[in-house]
Structure 1
Amino acid sequence: MNTLVYVAYLQGTDLPIIDSTRGATATIMILGAFGGCALGSAEGLYRRDQSVSQRFYVVIASALGVTALAAGVIGLIGDAEGALGVLFYATIALWFVATLRHMLTASAASPLTRDTHEVIDRNTTKHA
């Protein structure tokens, strides 16, 4: 959605709200807040027992988040088109880094109980 909003703004759209710099900035900030912050999870990101790669991710994500927030505020207050661009690209970079992190980190092991085994392999399960 952010890409659609930003491209429409750059093309000089006549759509309400995103036809102005402040409107497009507010829209991207709201989409980023709900798509990234509200639906995301930072559980365990700021623990002390982190690997180097986890700490690197926290630093990069935090820097991108602060950059996006600052650009958004500047874009809203100053009606700055450059700040809108920084907000857009920082948000896209945040989503890319988060997706990359999800791809590279191991997921939690699923609980292997008798019930899950029965669902996975019904032919070899014997009932007493």
Structure 2
Amino acid sequence: MATTECGLVKVNVDGSLSERRNSACVGGAVRDCCGEWLGGFTMSIDVSWVFQLEARALYVGLQFAWDRGFRSVAVKSDNALLRSGVTVDSSFAELRLAHALSPVSVEPLLAADARCFFQDVSRELNIV
């Protein structure tokens, strides 16, 4: 399992939808508690609505961190509805519905050996 000096990594995630170009992408940055760059990701995806896009960004960000062995993750997102759906509903039904994941896809990311925190960040400050 990977660790950082303070044991926590921060994952900033966001999505972008261009109706004019009929395209969407998600991206994120992973940094340690001192702000040092640990990695990042971008991905073009097919989506039908903004909530679906934000949910996919969250999922890909968690997957990115988990695949690198980080188990103590603070996720920063500017989507309050998504944060509420994930943190209030322990079954994560909204997240699964939002981006058509199978029922078993999210739970391994939030395993018993993991700590995941969700932090508010304003849309204006959700930058890398």
TM-score normalised by the chain length of structure 1: 0.29
Greater relative contact order, per chain length (Cα 8 Å cut-off, separation 6+): 2
For the pair shown, which has the larger CA radius of gyration, 1 or 2?
1
TM-score normalised by the chain length of structure 2: 0.29
**Structure with more helix by fraction:** 1
**Structure with more strand by fraction:** 2
